[in-house]
Amino acid sequence: MGQMIFVNLPVKDLDAAKGFWTELGYSFNPQFTDENAACLVFSDTIFAMLLTEPFFKNFTKKEVADASATTETIIALSAESRAQVDELVDRALAAGATPANEPLEYGDAMYSRSFEDLDHHIWEVVWTDVEKMRAQG
């Protein structure tokens, strides 16, 4: 099996975070989900561990960033089309997310929109036409 990635994110309300991502059509791995954590599945190798803030603090000596005031990371998710970018971000907004930035267009080869989830983590949804990007090279 190839390398896997687990992005660990603190959340204030685990049930609300799970409900938000479920509204967007994602699922959770029950083997790694309990009252302190939920394993959000993006693919066979990509996961986000949503951890209650007290539980998250067990894994760091640093202060936990207040994502409503600072940007600790921007997590990008690929999309298969411009329409899929709009669909996912619109569903996120309907589920309680807020817009993070204005949509970005790079000619007709790349398009992205972003949102802040319920805990203010920034998620960017990006579509790229790889062939057009190579041609513009």
Domain boundaries, given as residue ranges, for the chain: 1-59, 72-137
79 close to 129: Cβ distance less than 8 angstroms: no
pLDDT > 70: percent of the chain: 97
Whether the CB-CB separation of 117 and 13 falls below 8 Å is answered with: no
Q: Which residues pair with 40 in a beta bridge?
A: 28, 48
Q: Could you check whether 1-59 and 72-137 share the same CATH topology?
A: yes
The second-level CATH assignment, the architecture, of 1-59 is Roll (3.10)
| Class of the domain covering 72-137 | alpha beta
Residues of the chain scoring pLDDT < 50:
none
Residue 62: its pLDDT value, please?
Answer: 94
pLDDT at position 137: 62
Closest CA to 65 of 120, 124, 123, 125: 120
pLDDT at 99: 97
Q: What is the pLDDT of residue 108?
A: 87
